[in-house]
Amino acid sequence: MQGAEGAAAAWRNPTYWVLFATILWGLYWMPLVFLEGRGFSGVWPGLLLNLGALAVSTLALLWRPPGWAVFFSRRVILGCGLCGVAVTLYAASILATDVARALLLFYLCPAWSTLIEMVFLGRRATGRRFLALALSAAGLAALTVGELSLEEEAGLGDLMALVSGLSWAVGTSFLFGSKRFEIRAGSFHAFLGACLAGFLLLLVLPSPLTAEASGWLLGLGLGALYMLPVVAICLWGALHLPPGQLGFLLTGEIVSGLLSATLLLDQPFGWPEALGALFICGAAASEALAGKR
C-alpha cells in the first residue's frame, strides 16, 4: 500500500515532470532543423510549431472553457505570454547561431531568476546566491567575449538567446504561486504570445518561404504533438517550483541538447562552450542549493 502511495506521489511531483520535459527540450533543435530543410527558414520553423500548438490549445478551451476570472488573470496572461515570447526567441536563435551557444545563453535564466527572487520576492541575498551570479557572469564571458556582434547573424542569434532566457525567468516568476493558473488557459496565453512575437519578429527578420503544403501539415502536427505538452508541463512546473529551482531543473536540457547536437550536427564545440557549460551549470546548481536551504 505504501509503495502504491509513493508511486502516486511521484506521479504528481512536478520535479519529475519537468525533468521529463527537459529531455524533450534538449531535442527541440531537431524539429526546427527538420522544418528548415522542408523550406521554412529563420523565424518560420518556430512560428509554425507554435501555430500548431495554439490551434490545439484553442480547441481545448472551447471544449471545456475555464472561468472568466481564471482566463483573464492578468498575472497568468503576463507570465505565460512572456514565456511564449521566450519560446519564439529561443527557436529563432537556434537557427541563427550554433545550437550549443543558443542553449547555454538561454540557460543564463537561473541568474536572472536569482536577481528577481532577491529584488522582488524578498529572498535573502546570501553568499551562495552571489556565487551563482558570478558563475553565470563567467559563463557569459566565456561564450561571448569578442564574439557577440549585432552585425552578424550569429551575433543576433546569441542576443535573442540571451533575451529569451530573461523573458522566461520573468515570466515564470509571475506564475510561481499563482492561484488562478489553469493549464489550458495558460497554454493558450503562452502560444498566443509566442505566435504574436513570431509575427512581429518576421518584420525585423524577414524569412523566405519555399515550403510545400505537406511541410505545413508536418509543422502544425509537430507543434500539437511536441510543443504543446512540453511547454504545458514547464508552465505547470513554474506554478509549483521557485524560479531558481525550475531554472536549475531545466538546465538538464544542456546535457541532452549538447550531446545530441554534437553527435548529429557538424557544429563546433570548443573550450568556450565547454567553459560556459561548466560555469552556467555550476551557477544553476548553486542557486538550487541556496533555494533548498
CA distance 261 to 255: 10
Q: For 33-128, list the strands marked E by DSSP.
A: none
CA atoms within 13 A on the CB side of 47: 17
Return phi, psi of residue 289, to 5°: -65, -35
- State whether residue 209 is helix, strand or coil: strand
Own/partner long-range contacts of 123-126 (Cβ < 8 Å, ≥24 apart): 126/290
The terminus-to-terminus CA distance of the chain in angstroms comes to 32
Q: Which three cell numbers stand for residue 160?
A: 535573442
Q: According to the model, what pLDDT value does residue 2 have?
A: 45
The one-digit pLDDT tens for each residue of the chain (293 residues) are: 444 444 445 566 777 888 888 888 888 999 999 999 999 999 999 999 999 999 999 999 999 888 788 888 999 999 999 999 999 999 999 998 888 788 878 877 667 766 776 666 666 656 666 666 677 667 666 666 545 444 455 578 888 998 998 898 888 888 877 778 888 999 999 999 999 999 999 998 888 888 888 899 999 999 999 999 999 998 888 777 776 677 677 777 777 787 787 777 776 666 666 776 677 677 666 655 554 44
Query: How much is the pTM?
Result: 0.83
Answer for the pair 160, 89: CB distance below 8 angstroms, yes or no: yes
Which residues are CB-neighbours of 12 under 8 A, at least 6 positions away?
Answer: none
> Residue 197 is inside which H or E element, if any?
helix 183-204
Answer for the pair 125, 265: CB distance below 8 angstroms, yes or no: no
